[in-house]
Chains A and B, each alone.
Chain A
Amino acid sequence: MSTSRKTGHLTRRQFVAAGALGSAAIATGCAPGKQGNWEFLSEGQARTLAAICDQIVPADDFPSASQAGVLNYIDRQLVRHFRNHQDDYRNGLEQVQAMSRKRFGQDLELLSQPQQLAIVSELSEQDRTFFELVRDHTMEGYYGSPRHGGNRDAVSWRMLGLPEPPPLGRSQYDLGKGSPS
């Protein structure tokens, strides 16, 4: 979990979110008592989700999903374009933890890599809908545009051998971190 550059970034984001989404964002993302760095996820949910995402895109010589910021992407969109999936994530993550405790007696993120893989494989068979949702969101966050919080420093593009930033003459304007939509 990389949180080093999050604090300042998120303060601005929360400010933008509150302005853009009004009371809805305040009610969900910045609810009183929620201490963490996330707009939607609790710290516990984030740890569980990170474990799932890191089985979907594991680390090798390039970063895993969570190392590349995929949780930023999913969390940010859960109070924006994926608002309709808030309950899916709440219930799905709870279900995964139940599976993990039942089979191995511990939370998913505390298990060994082979055990985590076993749980995520089980999830992909038992609750295909939720798994596919997380799978797609993880792929989007990992391989999509860095402007949405995932694919940190365009790491997946560089992994694929794509020149990043693009060669001189292939970008008229700065690729900068535009405001999230």
Chain B
Amino acid sequence: MKRVNAVVIGAGAAGGIVAKELSVAGLSVVLLERGKWYTANDCHKDDLRNQRTTVLGNAFGPEDEGNPRVWVDAKGIARTVLPSEGSYQNNAACVGGGTLSYGAQAWRYLPQDFRMKSTYGAPAGSSLEDWPISYNDLEPFYEKAEYEIGISGDYSGTPFHGPRKRPLPMPPLPPGREFGILEPAAKRLGLHPFHIPMARNSIPYNGRGPCMRCRWCVGFACEVDAKNGSQNTVIPIALNTGNCELRTECMAKEILTDDRGRARGVSYFDENGHLQEQLSDIVIVSGCATESARLLLNSKSRLFPDGLGNRHDQVGRNLQGHHYTGAVGFFDFETYDDVGPGATIAISDYNHGTPGLCGGGMLANEFIRLPIHMIDRLPANTPRWGLGHKQAMRHWHKRTIVIMGPTQQIPTAEGRVTLDPTVKDKWGLPVVRFLGNVHPHTFEIGEVQAKRAQAWLKEAGAVDTSLMSYKAEMVSAGQHQAGTCRMGNDPQCSVVNKNCQIHDVDNLFVIDSSVHVTNGGFNPVLTIMAIAYFASDALVRNWKGTGFRS
């Protein structure tokens, strides 16, 4: 197989951008993806089989057969779990990764989110740390992501955002009924509501049309391709350069190293299950926080007996997602307008600045609901079955608003991805084994956030509310998984430097959410994309012909 300049492993939010940036700069690139390439035609509007409701499996991978993981609970009991189960902490496995079927909230983190330790100090038992880069370092790349991927929204209603040079490239979609109910209520509470930034066309953009406002949004591939992910933006550009080859259904086995300890390529199983080797000058791992860590840990050799980048036992640690809490409000009038995407209004007033709390998170109204989402979200005294349940569904389905948000997690070194000693996937590779729990302070913040959501709903006229607040006895990751290959200046307590380069292997990079030091109180995708542009920019600037200088 012909040697190339770069192999990128994983065609998700970050990998797609890296492949595009490198191939546009003239490097030859092979982009490996373990899943398939789906399109708008694969939407299917299937309420029971998508990436959010998975009772009949994941629509966009991985499939339940042959892809187990192991989760060790708080009592130390190990369980083998399948991709359609919540404790699997799944993110989609397909071209576009999570960006094919996500809700597409596209937030910038706040300046404080990059300085969590300086701002708050690290709570006991946590591994809270500052990033080695600042909001200002990322700002031009946030902007690049907003314009190349295509983001709609309007920040003008809130003072709680970092400095920005240009407005978003698209206006927000016209507000729905919930916006009209929640906006005046938030203002009466002295809050600053505004239009959620979304990777979703509100007007024609990038050659594709706007959102048709249907009911099947988060968890689905957009039927009219109005949702913007790497699969319909940067990856086609990469392929059009002629410098990038996308190989789907290819599962990376290990990163190959030479006897000087540099990466020399990747071995992978192709779509027929045959083992292949792709040699390259540089290797970029973009498999998402769980799978990137797993690949590094599975890449063992004489020089790297504990896996690549893992000389100081840092790979896989600090795993974090988001702790979602909020409230359901029940109204004596119709709140539901059957106009997607539903999620339209947010506040960032509570991300920082509450005495006694290390951060917080944004709060927003939930995406448009499907009936299946409501069966366990009815008022607290509703029977779980029988005529009472059926009539409650009829009464409340259109009279409900959900507000919730991603509480920024306090990371711990013990919340981590390791390799399971016995369980293997269908390729015979050791699978992810999750250890640890969420730091208890995260639950305290989440509880406060839930009560804030409840107060907002009550101000908006809710006649009844129920809190969505809980203490999960497991590590948190899911679609927002991050942190397992932390970025830092000190090789002893981080995995990559600020350019996403593994500390002791100069031609090996991890570019995805794994490098997030902390994960903000927002959906992480735009930050993943901004970092991909930032790291690609450094990589291209340092690229010297067929070699690489750090």
Contact = CB atoms under 8 A, between A and B. Distances in A.
Interface of A: 55-58, 60, 62, 77, 80-81, 117, 124, 135-136, 138-140, 143-145, 147-148, 156-157, 159-163, 166, 169-173, 175, 178, 181
A178 B44 contact: yes
A148 B56 contact: yes
A156 B371 CA distance: 8
Contacts of A173: 41, 43, 223
Contact of A181 (B57, B375, B394, B398): B57
B385 A171 contact: no
B213 interface: yes
Given A55-B386, A139-B372, A145 B212 contact: no
Contacts of B48: 140, 144-145, 148
Given A140-B48, A145-B45, A160 B394 contact: yes
A77 B56 contact: yes
B489 to A, nearest CB: 48
B338 A147 contact: no
B262 interface: no
B55 A140 contact: yes
Given A161-B398, A181-B56, A144 B372 contact: yes
26 contacts: A55-B386, A56-B386, A56-B389, A60-B387, A60-B390, A80-B56, A81-B57, A138-B385, A139-B372, A140-B372, A143-B47, A143-B371, A144-B47, A144-B48, A144-B372, A145-B48, A156-B371, A170-B212, A171-B212, A171-B223, A172-B223, A173-B43, A178-B44, A178-B46, A181-B46, A181-B57
**B46, B48, B389, B393: residue with the most chain A Cβ atoms closer than 10 Å:** B48
Nearest to B82: A84
Contact of B212 (A57, A159, A172): A172
A55 B338 CA distance: 30
> Which 8 A-B residue pairings sit nearest by Cβ, starting from the closest?
A143-B371, A145-B47, A144-B48, A56-B385, A170-B214, A160-B397, A139-B375, A144-B47
Nearest to A150: B48
Residue of B40, B47, B215, B223 with highest tally of chain A CB at under 10 A: B47
B36 interface: no
A116 B389 CA distance: 17
Interface residues of B, number: 35
Given A56-B385, A60-B391, A170 B213 contact: yes
A175 B57 contact: no
B164 interface: no
Interface string B482-518: 0000000000000000000000000000000000000
B213 to A, nearest CB: 6
Contacts of B46: 145, 147-148, 178, 181
Contacts of B161: none
Contact of B338 (A60, A148, A163): A163
Given A56-B386, A145-B46, 13 more contacts: A57-B385, A60-B390, A60-B391, A62-B390, A145-B45, A160-B371, A160-B398, A162-B338, A163-B338, A170-B215, A171-B212, A172-B224, A181-B49
Interface in B364-378: 371-372, 374-375
A171 B386 contact: no
Contacts of A140: 48, 55, 372
A56 B393 CA distance: 13
A161 B371 CA distance: 11
Contacts of B40: 172
Contact of A166 (B214, B372, B389): B214
B384 interface: yes
Contact of B45 (A57, A161, A175, A181): A175
A60 B388 CA distance: 11
Contacts of A139: 372, 375
Given A145-B46, A171-B214, A171-B223, A81 B56 contact: yes
Contacts of B44: 147, 178
A135 B371 contact: no
Given A77-B56, A144-B47, A145-B48, A162 B371 contact: yes
Interface in B269-300: none
Q: Which of B213, B393, B398 has the most chain A CB atoms closer than 10 A to its own CB?
A: B393
B360 to A, nearest CB: 34
Contacts of A80: 56
